[in-house]
């Protein structure tokens, strides 16, 4: 478990992190989001012990990083955005070097290196010099060094940077696999990665924690998305006596297919409402092409949080 209480960090007179608190449990994949300069990198450096907080405390599995930095650092794996690689070394030599830094030796070291090479699919490149690798393969080597010692906390800064779609899918599977035994903190600008991986989101703005929420809660909306050949006026009549539908919002029309957002009243069972809407439209001889629960777009949520914060600061 990570327990962060009221940490702050200044660079001169600039407060990069301002009274931030959060807890993270084993098995969680948490997205750390924010604009450039929001404080994400400073938070990650504080969690790894690379920087010291000016105030507040950080506990990892019960160990205070201020009192036991070396113990905490043995529990953490870290992939910074700028990959910590020695370009002149081969992959196998580099991982051997990292393993020794982590205190591994003998069979334990051999098994750890073999396992991470398999996990990151680096078998074919294991004896190749790092400088000759593509960005995608260098990224895999960076992840391999971060997970080599099976850390309890894995901090990943832009882990899919430079990966092609196939490599990205593999990286997602690997991160989820690591989360079975560890806490994962994922910092990225790619909202699709947050969508695909994260259970929870922390949004930073100007050094402050503006939002700490489950991803499912952020994306939940009280609306259904509907595609049908029914016109707007007819659809309103069809659904007029359905008390669960608060409003029918027309979205767009494309070659005989109209799309709508059906806003639901609170506490509505979306599955039952979907069945009712489909039955009513079908009974008129018309077609339902798509109907599903509508999700809030994460990028929109991120913008709304940032705009709301900026507006409150201006006031």
3-state per-residue secondary structure call for 146-165: HHCCCCCEEEEECCCCCCCH
Q: What is the DSSP letter of 34?
A: -
Same fold, 2-218 and 221-293: no
CA 243 to each of CA 63, 234, 239: distance values in angstroms, whole numbers, following the listed order:
54, 17, 9
Q: What is the DSSP letter of 265?
A: P
Per-residue pLDDT at 310 exceeds 60: no
CB 244 within 8 A of CB 263: no
Task: Spell out the residues 6+ positions from residue 189 whose beta carbon is closer than 8 angstroms to its own.
Answer: 158
What's the CATH superfamily of 221-293?
RRM (RNA recognition motif) domain (3.30.70.330)
Q: What is the pLDDT of residue 218?
A: 84
Q: What is the pLDDT of residues 86-143, one digit of tens each?
A: 999 999 999 999 999 999 999 999 999 999 999 999 999 999 999 999 988 999 999 9
Bridge partner list, 247: 263
Give, for 36, the enclosing helix (H) or strand (E).
none
Mean pLDDT across 12-25? 95
Class at the top of the CATH hierarchy for domain 2-218: alpha beta
Per-residue pLDDT at 236 exceeds 60: yes
47 Ramachandran zone, left/alpha/beta (phi>0; psi -120 to 50): alpha
Bridge partner list, 17: 9
Domain ranges (residues) in the chain: 2-218, 221-293
Cβ atoms within 10 A of the Cβ of 289, count?
A: 12
Task: Give the CA diameter of the chain.
Answer: 75
Angle formed by the axes of helices 106-119 and 91-101, nearest 10°? 130
Radius of gyration of the chain, Cα coordinates, nearest whole angstrom: 24
**Which of 291, 315, 311 is closest to 225 using CA atoms?**
291
Higher pLDDT among residues 222 and 297, named by residue: 222
Query: In which band, very low, low, confident or very high, does the pLDDT at 22 lie, cut at 50, 70 and 90?
Result: very high
Per-residue pLDDT at 308 exceeds 80: no
**Which of 83, 71, 79 is closest to 32 using CA atoms?**
79
């Amino acid at each position: 478990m990570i327990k962060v209480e009221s940490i702050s960090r200044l660079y001169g007179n600039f407060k990069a992190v301002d009274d931030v608190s959060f807890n993270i449990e084993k098995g969680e994949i948490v997205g750390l989001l924010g604009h450039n300069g929001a404080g994400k990198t400073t938070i990650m450096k504080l969690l790894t012990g690379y920087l010291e907080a000016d105030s507040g405390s950080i506990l990892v599995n019960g160990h205070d990083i201020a009192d036991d930095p070396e113990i905490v650092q043995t529990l953490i794996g870290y992939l910074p955005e700028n990959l910590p690689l020695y370009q002149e070394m081969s992959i196998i030599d580099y991982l051997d070097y990292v393993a020794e830094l982590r205190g591994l030796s003998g069979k334990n070291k051999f098994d750890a290196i073999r396992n991470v090479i398999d996990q990151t699919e680096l078998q074919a490149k294991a004896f190749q010099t790092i400088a000759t690798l593509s960005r995608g393969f260098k990224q895999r080597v960076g992840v391999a060094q971060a997970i080599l010692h099976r850390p309890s906390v894995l901090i990943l800064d832009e882990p899919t940077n430079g990966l092609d779609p196939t490599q990205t899918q593999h990286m997602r599977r690997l991160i989820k696999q690591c989360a079975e035994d560890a806490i994962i903190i994922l910092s990225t600008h790619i909202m699709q990665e947050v969508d695909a991986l994260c259970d929870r989101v922390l949004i930073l703005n100007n050094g402050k924690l503006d939002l700490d929420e489950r991803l499912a809660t952020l994306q939940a909306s009280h609306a259904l998305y509907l595609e049908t050949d029914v016109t707007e006026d007819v659809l309103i009549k069809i659904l007029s006596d359905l008390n669960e539908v608060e409003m029918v919002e027309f979205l767009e029309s494309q070659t005989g297919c109209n799309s709508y957002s059906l806003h639901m009243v609170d506490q509505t069972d979306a599955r039952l409402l979907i069945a009712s809407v489909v039955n009513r439209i079908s009974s008129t001889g018309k077609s339902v092409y798509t109907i599903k629960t509508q999700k809030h777009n994460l990028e929109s949520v991120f913008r709304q949080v940032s705009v709301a914060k900026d507006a409150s600061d201006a006031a």
